[in-house]
Amino acid sequence: MNEKIKMAVNGGIDFGSRLNAAQLRTIAKYMDDEESIEVTTFQQLYVEIPKDKEEEIIEEFKRVGLVCYPVGNYVKSLRTCNFCKGEEQEGMPVAKELNNRIAGKPVPFTLKVAYTGCPVGCGEPMLSDIGVMKMKDHYNLYIGGKAKGKDAEVGFLLLENLTPDQLYNAVEQIIDLYSENGKKREQFYKFIKRVDKNLILEQLAI
């Protein structure tokens, strides 16, 4: 039997998490009638594709605007708000660039990063491992949020008033610190509790 692999797919960062008809048809092409698809809480679909056709299917998905990510202990694609006030005002290009830089990086445990275009916070950045909130022309960076469990917690403000470049650098360096110093399968919020906040700040060169 043909081996299948699981892949996370979405329509990229846009005004809301949407898929058009061509994208849905392309995904359905690789599904049998009795197969179903998993919609995750992280604005991704999990699809299973034949391993021996992986590259050509990813190319085909790309042609209709689908973006593919690995499943497992990687940085997830950015969970975003719907950018209701407009692409530029809410920093969609910054969200896209950040996503390009970090999504799919291997980490000790699945890492969730959220972006929200204004302080209303529809992208729920405070409940993510790493959360970005656009504040007028700058960006605030939160870390350590935990959405699940009865010990759920909101993240704390690590850095504020960042430019886009400072934001990219800070997030990339925090992820590198976690990759290099996190224990196997240590969740990010536990890593943040174990490593002192000031120690993290000392390591950052932004």
The residues of the shown chain that bind ligand SF4, judged by CB under 6 A, are 81-85, 90, 116-118, 120-122
Q: Work out how close the CB of 120 gets to ligand SF4 at its nearest, in angstroms, rounded to a whole number.
A: 4
Task: For ligand SF4, give the closer residue by CB, 58 or 122.
Answer: 122
- Rounded CA-CA distance 113/24 in Å is 25
Q: Work out how close the CB of 43 gets to ligand SF4 at its nearest, in angstroms, rounded to a whole number.
A: 13
Task: For ligand SF4, give the closer residue by CB, 45 or 81.
Answer: 81
Q: Work out how close the CB of 80 gets to ligand SF4 at its nearest, in angstroms, rounded to a whole number.
A: 8
Task: For ligand SF4, give the closer residue by CB, 90 or 129.
Answer: 90
Q: Work out how close the CB of 10 gets to ligand SF4 at its nearest, in angstroms, rounded to a whole number.
A: 17
In sequence order, the β-bridge partners of residue 133 are 116, 140
Residue type at 33 in one-letter notation = D
Task: For ligand SF4, give the closer residue by CB, 24 or 154.
Answer: 154
* Residues 42, 72, 13, 20, CA torsion sign: negative
On whether the CB atoms of residues 114 and 128 are closer than 8 A, the answer is yes
Task: For ligand SF4, give the closer residue by CB, 147 or 206.
Answer: 147
Q: Work out how close the CB of 115 gets to ligand SF4 at its nearest, in angstroms, rounded to a whole number.
A: 9
Q: Specify the 3-state DSSP secondary structure of 199.
A: helix
146 DSSP 8-state letter: B
Please name which of 191, 186, 131, 119 lies closest in space to residue 158, comparing C-alpha atoms.
131
Angle of CA points 141, 75, 118, to nearest 5°:
35
- Rounded CA-CA distance 193/146 in Å is 12
